[in-house]
Amino acid sequence: MDRTIRILLKTTTPAESDNWSVDSLTLVREQLASLRGDGLRFEVTARNRDAAPDAPDPLLERLAESDFDELWLYALDTGKGLTPADCEGITRFRQRGGGVLAVRDHQDMGSSLCHLGGVGLAHFFHRDHPDPDLERRVPDDLDTPTISWPNYHSGRNGDFQRIAPVEPIHELLINPDAPSGRIEYFPAHPHEGAVGIPPSEPSARIVARGTSLTTGRAFNLAVAFDRSEDRDGNRLGRAVAESSFHHFADYNWDTSRGAPSFVTEPEGTGMRTEPRALADIERYVRNLAYWLAPAQS
């Protein structure tokens, strides 16, 4: 019988009309639920933040005591999306072997992650925990002046970006169905955030980089944390930090799905015209789900 991996797909913001939410992530949810093979199947629960302001989220606070195996955390807040109790719950979840995907976006979107520690410290923001490289504390996307750094311009929403794997190629980027044998495309976004390796995390490595279409500058797309042992002897689960939730958003896979009214940038068509682009991000989602699954005891 297949082993069931239970994934909690969770946002750090409550449901709001005309805004990003778990309803913006239905395609990735369906992709995860459809996965089978190698003795695994996946069961997905998708929830927005469900708590009063400044109160712990019941699911996150007690995540370590739950039967979830993976947390796919989409940080859509601007600083108050996680309480100290939420961060503690997520930390204890990873300490008992749970896998964590932590995703954010431009400037300070998702900045509550920097209070998480571990994978949270792989995220650099404008106000809190900025990029240690002072030369990167400048705008990259110049078409939307209301959004400041970090805001790397990898392309229009609806287009794809060609990614550069960091050698040796991480198993997250393997795609046996692609001509090159690896994932080559991610969905693009006009203003991605910044991720990097925290100095205190020897198990972390950069998986892939993108290239700004504005400046030609390379920037990190994903940082992977392998299993490791913390100072208290806990065997930490794997984790991944991503520069933008738009790699997974319905709108960036298929612009006909629509976006909130504040999204006014011109749309691209690359994800519709290049079949390999959608196939690559679907494979990447599969790879994440399998790689983040806890080791069987």
Looking at the domain assignment, is residue 44 inside a domain? yes
Strand ranges for 60-201 from DSSP E: 70-74, 99-103, 123-124, 160-162, 164-165, 185-187, 194-195
With residue 5 as reference, give the H or E element that holds it: strand 3-11
CATH number for position 72: 3.40.50.880
Of 132, 15, 4, 12, the closest CA to residue 68 belongs to: 4
pLDDT at 53: 84
pLDDT at 29: 98
Looking at the domain assignment, is residue 143 inside a domain? yes
Of 242, 241, 258, the closest CA to residue 158 belongs to: 258
Domain count, the chain: 1
pLDDT at 92: 97
Looking at the domain assignment, is residue 154 inside a domain? yes
Looking at the domain assignment, is residue 70 inside a domain? yes
Looking at the domain assignment, is residue 128 inside a domain? yes
Q: Which residues contact 86 (CB under 8 A, 6 or more apart)?
A: 56, 57, 60, 61
pLDDT at 164: 98
Contact between residue 191 and residue 169 where contact means Cβ atoms under 8 Å apart: no
**Coil vs helix vs strand at 89:** helix
Q: How would you write the pLDDT of the chain (297 residues) with one tens digit per residue?
A: 789 999 999 999 999 999 999 999 999 999 999 999 889 999 999 999 999 888 999 999 999 999 999 999 999 999 999 999 999 999 999 999 999 999 999 999 999 999 998 999 999 999 999 999 999 999 999 999 999 999 999 999 999 999 999 999 999 999 999 999 999 999 999 999 999 999 889 999 999 999 999 999 999 999 999 999 998 999 999 999 999 999 999 999 999 999 999 999 999 999 999 999 999 999 999 999 999 999 986
Looking at the domain assignment, is residue 297 inside a domain? no
Full residue range of the structural domain in which residue 92 is found: 3-292
